[in-house]
Amino acid sequence: MAETKPGDTRLQSSLWDAARFAAWAYAPFQSLAAPELYGLLATRAFTANGLYLNLGYWKTARTIDEACPALATLVAEAAAMGPNDDVVDVGLGFADQDMLWIERFAPRHITGLNVTPVQVRLARQRLQRRSMADRITLTEGSATAMPLPDACCDIVTAVECAFHFHTRVDFLAEAFRVLRPGGRLVLADVIRAAPEPDALRRRVQNFTWSQFAQKFAVPAANADRRSAYAAKLNAAGFETVDVTPIGEHVFPGWHRALAQDAALFARLPPAGRLPYGLLLNFDARTVYSAFDYVLATARKPGGKGARDGAV
């Protein structure tokens, strides 16, 4: 029997992962939970610099390497993040936003939670190389059962990931629990768009959302539109609730970048390039008609209240 070399094992594993991703991309009704999906993606990120995986905030950005940090910056500014704050960042990815926040906003400490082991492991290595491990603690943990004590932080964030949580309501309850009185919650999140008045476009919306929910394991309970989203924040006990649509500064810029930036398109997983390539034949409004992208902010009652421009 021929000896299996380490390189052969890595190649076999890589080919197997590629096959699983292709099956997920093309086979009807195939779904992957977030840890599996992001585990298969490994370090395949959107940006050339860093390992960002968000769609970006394109209000002034012109490249994906400007847009992804811009979204993280928007979240930090909405939270009025500063030196007196302990932050819990849920769904941290590879900790790019956390490192940016330490450098630009200098919070006292960040605790990052993530359910994807490979992302946590690699993010810890990156923190060590950047000498930030004493300022950022990364933990494998669920957004809906945070391994954290009550009232342990001033800010909870989730950047483009809460639609995965099973469920968003359970996450909001946990966020409320771990926040100190007066603490702030800021989410950049994908939700359902308001229904189109035209029946055909409404059917397209419904089909698109159902495919998105199937492929990305979005619980049916998370199919919120804006008013329902705000109602869930209020029901969880939050006040000063605001759900602001920012999709006009997200989807068109991302769509345009995929069409114009060959390097970005090449960074997509090979199995994802064909469907995305086909979608580029349509305008962004059509492709993303099922989706609303929101910046949601809220505050836990008590404490000193909002300060320094916080929500």
Whether the predicted pLDDT of 10 surpasses 50 = no
Mean pLDDT of 163-184: 97
pLDDT score, position 93: 93
pLDDT score, position 21: 52
* Cα 166 to Cα 45: distance, rounded to the nearest angstrom: 24
pLDDT score, position 231: 98
Q: For residues 194 and 225, is the Cβ–Cβ distance under 8 A?
A: yes
Q: 4 falls in which pLDDT band (50, 70, 90)?
A: very low
Q: 305 falls in which pLDDT band (50, 70, 90)?
A: very low
Q: The sheet that has 153-159: what strands, in order across it?
A: 136-140, 109-114, 86-90, 153-159, 179-192, 291-299, 239-245
List, in sequence order, every residue forming a beta bridge with 145; answer none if it has no partner: 142
pLDDT score, position 254: 97
Q: 269 falls in which pLDDT band (50, 70, 90)?
A: confident
Phi, psi of 26 (to 5 degrees): -110, -25
- Higher-pLDDT residue of 9 and 165 is 165
Q: 275 falls in which pLDDT band (50, 70, 90)?
A: confident
Whether the predicted pLDDT of 16 surpasses 90 = no
Q: How far apart are the first and last CA of the chain?
A: 66
Q: 6 falls in which pLDDT band (50, 70, 90)?
A: very low
Alpha helices in the chain (DSSP H): 6-26, 34-41, 64-78, 96-105, 117-129, 168-178, 199-215, 226-235, 251-260, 262-267, 270-279, 284-287
At position 178, the amino acid (one-letter code) is: V
Whether the predicted pLDDT of 253 surpasses 60 = yes
pTM of the model: 0.89
Q: What is the pLDDT of residues 21-57, one digit of tens each?
A: 555 555 555 666 777 777 667 677 999 999 999 999 9
pLDDT score, position 12: 39
* Domain residue spans of the chain: 30-299
Least confident of 39-43, 65-69, 183-187: 39-43
Whether the predicted pLDDT of 68 surpasses 90 = yes
Core vs surface per residue 217-235: b (16+ CB within 10 A) or e = bbeeebbbebeebbebbee
Architecture of domain 30-299: 3-Layer(aba) Sandwich (3.40)
Q: 84 falls in which pLDDT band (50, 70, 90)?
A: very high
pLDDT score, position 303: 84
Q: What is the pLDDT of residues 284-303, one digit of tens each?
A: 999 999 999 999 999 999 98
Whether the predicted pLDDT of 120 surpasses 90 = yes
Whether the predicted pLDDT of 233 surpasses 90 = yes
**Mean of pLDDT over the chain:** 89
Say whether 139 sits in a helix, a strand or coil: strand
Mean pLDDT of 225-234: 98
